[in-house]
Structure 1
Amino acid sequence: MNNSIKPTIILGGGFVGLFTALHLSQQNYPAPVILIDRQERFVFKPLLYDYLTEEMNDSQVNPLYEKLLEGSGVEFIRDTVQKIDLDKKRVELANNGSIAYKYLVLALGSQTGYFGIEGAKEHTLPFRTRENAIALKNHLQNCLKRSLSIEDFQERQQLLTVIIVGAGATGVELAGTLADVLPQWYIKQGGNFEQIRLILINRGSQILSSASERLRHAAQTALQQLPVPVELEMDASVTAVRPQQVEFERNGQKQTLAAATIVWTTGTTVNPVIKSLPLADGYRDKKGRLKVLSSLQLIDRPEIFAGGDCAVSWYESLPPTAQAAYQQGAAIAQNLVSLSAERVPDIARVQIRGTTLKLGLNEAAADLFDRLLVTGKSAHLLRQGRYLTTLPTPVRDFKAATQWLSEEVLESI
C-alpha cells in the first residue's frame, strides 16, 4: 500500500461492503481499498437454507474473502471494529491498531434482536451465519436420532417438535425448508416422519406482512402441502422462552408450547459500533439506523457512506434484501469514483425486481417485478439462477450458474 495516500476503508463484508470493494476494483479506483470483517467467509444469506440442506456447498454459499478478493487489489483484514473516530477519521480495531481513512463505507449490518424477552437469547438458535446453519443441522439430526430410543410419548414428541419464532421471509423460508428435509433425514434414520411437528409463531396476524397478497397466499398454501404441514400460530406474542419451551400470549390468554428446537428469526438491532457514533438523534431513525442522503452519504459527513441494514434513506424505503444491498454497493463504488475525480456523487438508484422465496427442497415462489407470480419447480429454478448469477466474481458466477442450471433442467425434462 502507498502510505502517502489514505485508504478507503469498508467496514463489513456483507453484500454492501463486498460489492463496493469488487466494483471499486473493476473501475480503476486510484486509492487503496481495505475491507474489514470479523469473519473469514462471506455469507450469501439467501442461500443459507440450501447450505443447511447440503444442496449447495461452502464454495458457493460461504466463500473465503481471500478467494473472492484474489487479484482485486483490495486488502482484506479479518478483525473486529472497536470504534470509529469521526473527527480524526480513524478506525480502531481489536488486533490491528488504528487506521486512518480518507473515505469510509459503513456496511456493518445488523444483529439479532430479542426485544428484551426473557430467555430468548439463551434458549433459542439464531439463523444468520454459516456457523448457525451448521449448529442447527447438527442439533436437529441429534434430536431425530435421540427420539428413536425414547419410549415416553411426550418426551419423544418434544424432540420431534421444532418452533420457529417469526414469520417474516427468514422464518417462512426456514419453515418450508425444514418441513421438506426433516422427513428425509428421519426416514434415513428409521423414524416415522408423521410424528414431526413444525410450528411457526408470529406476533402479527399473517405471515410475510411486507410481501404482496399473492405471494403471501402462495407461501401459506405451500406450507400446508409439504410432507410436514407447518402449523401457524398467529397473533401470538412471545413473552418468555424457557429451556425447550416457549410461552406466548394471545387474546389475553397465556399459552405454552414445548419443543427441543426453538429457532429465533425475528427482530434485529443496530450494530454497537453504529450505535456508538456521536451523531444527532435527528440523523437516525427510531431503530438507530443512520439516515443517508440519496447518494448514500451521511449528512454533514460527505466522506462517509452507509448502506444495508445499518442505514435508511431520507427519500425512499428499501427492503432489507440482498438485491437492494448489492445495488447499493455498486452505487457507493460509483460515487467514490466520482469523488476521486472531483465529480458530484449521483443518486443511488435501486430497482427491486421482485421477491423470491424458498418453500421446500425443489419448491419456491417468485413474485417478479410485483406483477407476475411463478410457483413450484419453475420458481425454484428462477430463484437459484438469480442468486447464483449474483454471487461475487463473474467467472465463478457463470461457471456455477451454468453447471447448476444444466443439471437441474436436464433432470426436470
Structure 2
Amino acid sequence: MSQPRATKVLVIGYVWPEPRSSAASGHVMQILETFLQQGWDITFSSPAGIGEHKADLAELGIREVPIELNNSSFDAFVSDLAPDIVLFDQFMMEEQFGWRVEKHCPTALRVLETSDLQSLRHARHQRLKDRLKASDDANDFSELFAPALGEEFELMADTDLAKREIAALYRCDLNLMISEVEIELLVEQFKLPRQLLHWCPLMLDPITQPFTPFEDRAHFLSIGNFRHAPNWDAVLWMKTTLWPLIRQQLPGAQLHIYGAYTPPKATALHNPSQGFHVMNWAEDALQVMSAARICLAPLRFGAGIKGKIVDAMLCGTPNITTPIGAEGMSAGQPWPGAIGETAAALADAAVARYNDKALWLESQEHGRRLINERYRQQVHGPALIERLAYCRDNLDHIRSHNFIGSMLRHHAHKSTQYMAQWIEAKNRVSS
C-alpha cells in the first residue's frame, strides 16, 4: 500500500534566515522545525541576497531555491512545485508573489508570518521622533508607553504602510501573529476577523539546565541586529543617558554591546574609558548572554516580542526594559527583571539587580517560569499544525466568509500583476 504524499510547503522569505542575527529569523526557523517534525516537504525561496550569517537550510533537508522579483520564471517554478501551503515571510512577499500563487496554485493555503506588525513599529518610531523634537528631556519617555489601542490605531490608520500591511493580512487565509497585543489591536481597532489570526509566539523547549551562577558573571550586556532601528535607538539612549547613570553608581561597570552588521556609526561609540564596549557580532549569543549579569533592553519603540529578552530568560540573565520591550510577553506574570519608563528608573533597577544576589535570583526564577509556562514548543507547535490542518480542510468556507479579502485580492492583485508584467517587459527591453 502506497504511503500518503507528504505535505508540500513553500516558504517565500523576505530574507534568507539568519537565526543568530535576528529574532525574526529565529521564529521562522522554529516554524520550519515544526514543519520538519511532521515530515513535510519544505522548499525555501527568497529574492534576497545571501547574508553572511545565513542558516544552512539544506543541511536540515530543506530545498533552497532563489527567486526573482517581477519575473514570470516564478510562475513555472510554483506551478511545478504545486505546494499545499505557501507561507509568506513578511507582508511584502505576499504583495509581490501572492497574486502569482493564487493564479497558479489556487487551492494552496496562503499563510502570512508577520514577525511583528511593521506599521505599528513605524508609527511608534514616528511618535518618538516627534517627542525628541518637542522636548530635550532625555530621561522621561513615559508618554510613549501609555497609549491605549485606540490611540495606536489613530497613529497608524492614515499611513500607507498600515493600509498595505492590513490589506495583506486580509488577503491571506491565515496570519501568524507573535504578539497577543497585536491580535487585539487588529481585531478591536482594524476589525480584522479573529478567525484570520493565529497566536504563534516563539516556540522553545523547557529550561532544565542549571544557569551560570551569580558569582561567575560580570558586566552588563545589550544585544540586537544594528539594522533594526529600535535596537540602534536603544544603543544611542544607553550611550547618552542610561549608561552614564549606571556608571555614576558603579564606576567600574562595563557594558558590552553585540549586534550583527555593526555600522561605523556604532563602532564610533566604542569607548573603553567609559566602560562602553561595542563588540560587533556574537558568534554564540547565548554564551555571551550567560556570561553577563544583567541584560539591558531599553527600547523606546518597537513591536512584536523581543528575542533578546527571551534569550536573557533562557540564560537566566535578568533583563531591564521598558513597557515596549515587555509588551505581549508576560501575560501578567512577574517580570524577570524590571520594567521602567525613565532612564533613571531603568538605571536604578539595573544597579539593584547587579548588586543584590537575592533580587537577581528572584528575577532569574521569574524568567524560567515564564519560558516554561508560556513559550513551550510542545504546546505551540502542535497548535500551529492543528490550525493549518483545519484551514486546509475548510478552505472554501474560510474564503467565502472573507469577502473583504476577496475584494482586496481582486483589485490589488490586478494592479500588482500589471505593474510586475510592465517591469518585467521593461527589464527585458533594457537588457
Higher helix share: 2
* Structure with greater strand percent: 1
Q: Same fold (TM over 0.5)?
A: no
**What TM-score, normalized by structure 1, do the two folds share?**
0.28
What TM-score do the two structures reach when normalised by structure 2?
A: 0.27
